[in-house]
Structure 1
């Protein structure tokens, strides 16, 4: 089925990619507004097997905000909320099975979402199979975001089906559709994913079923070839007949070694870049990536490096933990940048409100495009479970997608950006010519003042750990989240019993 590459890295003997397969169709989707609509069409069209692999699923979100009729249905006639939508998809197709795998740690991050998931699993259609994935070292995260329908169409990227993800590419200030379930506003949110068909979709299906087997011990059979195409007719195809590689991060576990294909592919791209490296990431805090970029910036006439990041993290604690690491990286990179070839920006709306960047994109020149779940941080390189898709040697496709992303950030049409880029001849020069001083655009990220908490968090790396080759794999027998939960429950019961005993003694 797969055509394994034999290229080896100098640092290790691991392949850069899990496999390379042909995609009959390949599409790039920007922001969750378009993704959720497309996803609904594919889920409705699925015939026998639908695999949903994600960090989290919030069954109570409206997938098409502010579009429900009196019965709670979206314009396609199916329930708008994710949970009822899944049930109705199953009710209308007696041959379909849906497998939903989410990270077990999401129960601790968002405990309120556990009950709807448990209800769906226990009392919903018997053909919905729900599992919490705990097959990873303690503290690690199952972070892949994959959807596969009948091995015919698959999605891989950074968008979760959960709260706060929905937004349009316009990122309108105070958009009334961009709200949380409690009615409070959500911040502007930028994200990306990809869609593939053909052998590339089957490869993602095999990976998803492998992940299900590791989490549940249950082997799922690959579906038979679907009868007819389920690719949505209005999903624009960006390329036909392209090779798509799968790159993973898998932490060592149950005596299996670390897989860090994503890190190796990023480092290869940095080493071989000639003109530019363009990165969109939720974080910018990876030691190995920083060292590789610093080396290129010290060169004479090396590539330009442009990074798009959020201005702030999602919480003050996370901001201290992750952005202190970012600030330290920036100090190194700016010191090495003797030819002014490095920029790091955050995007803003027309009202100058920061847009949160959740996309995970890595583009080398116009020769390689990486898109998936992996951030530029240590966890994504060697601790969490990640999956990226990679397209190489598709210059027009890659250049077009980079222009599409930057034109969104700068508030213009892609053709306008491409024209200025051709005129200026360099990425940074084009951005700076088009980037206005106010309104929609990109703003420079500056280092923040270090605090005692941020210094401790950065020094310990407690929020951003990783494994490296040679580290001893976890056997799965150590402390696990369930052990902490059980210990906490026992401690609580013991404390209550002690309180009762104390009262009876008075």
Structure 2
């Protein structure tokens, strides 16, 4: 760091104290946030992040699955962009270089999953950015390969001056930008190469306060594990980085942080996210609203099956893409989803479980968000999907606000408003009417069935397709979606998705008998 940073930093640490400890099962730390804003969809996310980065003076620390310096961050959607739009570039690579030139005390550290280096072959101008950055000692772009073969670095975290942090599902890369309108033929929705792509739904949460220092600890530890030199911790500056005029979703709340990390070298496995999913599913009394890119987790499937077998189970509604993104992902996730849903439907005697795909007109919207809302009491967001990899193989980070925690009671109304807002986005209904409609119909599924109109934005119910023998075998093995590094090479060693003696295996046998297989 530059000399002016000396009063903001202390001696560098070779390791981060308490990084491997959990305060309770499923939770790494509980920390305070002065305020937090849930940001839905990347048009707003990119714009808000650019405004926040403009205020940073000491460190911009970006951690992600992917980055593409060719993307444009903003198009003047907020007043602060209109005021500055001719003073700084919108293109990410040029913007970072501009920040380094105009902020003499600033450093930029970027950590990206190593496998993505192959994508650079098709990102010619990004190579130019990286070469240009080499001459700046205050810019460091590092590839993270500190994980077992077959796993990935999947966290999406940003920390600015240890004062402001973001955690969620949005990467600063191509094919993410979209507005909450998800217009079917929005001409602005195109990759840096100019290729058009379909509507994309995503979400993240910006947080200010002690939570940023905790996520800085997590990021600095990951930086060291990826081979980087220890980064000195920064004391948060007195001046807030929060973009002026940006409303907060939550104020003065306690935030929980949960992680996934696979066992590697001498680092122990961490499966806090898996434990927390089970806790949240078990806790639900009335309903769970979730958004996820995948639905293929054995652990989550078992937990939902257990709830559906109860006399009066909660409603569980999942918003989900029509298909996984890419042929290989479809083989791994789509077939397992079909088998899991078939098992759940076998015991869902009250019809409380459903999966839905959002559409804009006739075009499916790809769901990349990772959100869970329980009884309008818990709001959870992060990088973890409802698949096996996110439970034990990939590096993940989720954060949550629980209104039943002491001091968080005031957050319940905001959590309910978030659920109403998301349902309204997907159905095209009036956000102000969602609460009353839910109460009138008695369930979210009935609300969707009876209130949304065809055309525009709608949710369409998922029905599991029939699979052939090869597809069933892939689903059962978990070959392409393991939850442990050892299972990559011995997919049937532990029984795959339907492990012997498990609830899933028992119900799966009933499904096969019912279907005459």
Scaled by the length of structure 1, the TM-score of the pair is 0.86
Unaligned 5+ runs, structure 1: 8-14, 68-72, 475-506
Q: C-alpha deviations, 1:411-460, integer Å up to 9, x for none?
A: 13321212212333433333333222443110011222424553443344
What CA distance in whole angstroms lies between the structure 2 residues aligned with 1:463 and 1:111? 25
**Equivalent residue, structure 2, for 1:490:** none
Q: Which residue of 1 aligns with 2:379?
A: 369
Aligned to 1:416: 433
Match of residue 179, structure 2, among 164, 168, 175: 168
Q: How does 1:310-459 map to 2 (within 5 A)?
A: 310-349=321-360, 351-393=361-403, 394-451=411-468, 454-459=471-476
2:191 partner SS? coil
Aligned equivalent of 1:303, options 296, 308, 314: 314
Secondary structure of residue in 1 paired with 2:248: coil
Q: Does 1:156 align with 2:167?
A: yes
The partner residue of 2:49 within 39, 43, 65 is 39
Post-superposition offset of 1:346: 0.2
User: 1:210 deviation in Å?
Assistant: 1.1
Deviation at 1:24, TM superposition (A): 0.3
Give unpaired runs (5+ residues) of structure 2. Answer: 1-16, 78-82, 404-410, 490-517
> Distance between the aligned counterparts of 1:6 and 1:48, measured in 2?
30
- Quote the residue 2:5 is aligned against: none
Alpha-carbon displacement from aligned partner over 1:253-301 (angstroms, at most 9, x marks no partner)? 1122210111100100111110011110000000010011011011111
Q: Is the 8 A contact 2:426 2:457 kept in 1?
A: yes
- Describe the superposition over 1:107-134 as per-residue Cα deviations: whole angstroms up to 9, x where unpaired: 13554347246424424x3211110001
Q: Deviations over 1:333-385 (max 9, x none)?
A: 11111001011000001x22100000000121122111000000000000000
- Count how many residue pairs are aligned between Structure 1 and Structure 2: 458
Give the direction of change, closer, same or farther, for the CA distance of 1:306–1:76 in structure 2 (3 Å limit). farther
Query: Separation in 1 of the partners of 2:66 and 2:22?
Result: 32
Change (3 A) 1:384 1:117: farther
Q: CA-to-partner distance for each residue in 1:56-106, whole Å, 9 max, x for gaps? A: 100111223699xxxxx9836311211011100111100000100000011
Distance 1:263 1:100, change over 3 A: same
The residue correspondences of 1:89-238 to structure 2 (distance < 5 A) are 89-109=99-119, 111-113=121-123, 115-116=127-128, 118-123=130-135, 125-238=136-249
Distance 2:219 2:365 in 1: 31
Distance 2:200 2:75 in 1: 15
Within the alignment, does 1:281 sit opposite 2:298 as a pair?
no
Residue 182 (structure 1) shift: 2.5
For residues 130 and 474 of structure 2, what CA distance do their matches in structure 1 show? 35
Q: 1:51 aligns with which of 51, 58, 61?
A: 61
Greater Cα shift, 257-266 or 393-402: 393-402
Find the counterpart in structure 2 of residue 11 from structure 1.
Answer: none
SS at match of 1:369: strand
Q: For residues 140 and 420 of structure 1, what CA distance do their matches in structure 2 show?
A: 43
In structure 2, the residue matched to 1:499 is none
Partner residue in 2 for 1:10: none
Q: Assess if the C-alpha contact under 8 Å between 2:384 and 2:397 holds in 1.
A: yes
CA contact (8 A) 1:2 1:20 kept: no
Q: Distance in 1 between matches of 2:248 and 2:230?
A: 33
Contact 1:64 1:74 in 2 (8 A): no
Q: Which moved more, 1:437-446 or 1:447-456?
A: 447-456
Structure 2 CA distance for aligned equivalents of residues 321 and 54 of structure 1: 22
* SS across alignment from 1:230: coil
Give the SS at the match of 2:109.
strand
Cα distance in structure 1, aligned partners of 2:205 and 2:169:
9
* Distance (Å, rounded) in 2 between the aligned partners of 1:120 and 1:251: 35
SS at match of 1:24: strand
CA RMSD of aligned residues (A): 2.3
Whether the 8 Å contact between 1:59 and 1:116 is mirrored in structure 2 is no
3-state secondary structure, aligned to 2:67: coil
Query: How far apart, in 1, do the equivalents of 2:35 and 2:207 lie?
Result: 6
SS of aligned partner of 2:226: helix
| Deviations 1:5-63 (CA, angstroms, capped at 9, x unpaired) | 754xxxxxxx2111000000011000000000000011111010110000010011122
Match of 1:284, SS state, is coil
Moved more, 446-455 or 217-226: 446-455
Q: Secondary structure at the match of 1:376?
A: coil
8 A contact 1:65–1:178 mirrored in 2: no
Structure 1 residues 107, 74: CA separation in 2 closer, same or farther (over 3 Å shift)? farther
1:147 alignment partner, SS class = strand
5 Å-filtered alignment, 1:491-502, equals none
Distance (whole Å) between structure 1 residues aligned to residue 196 and residue 41 of structure 2: 17
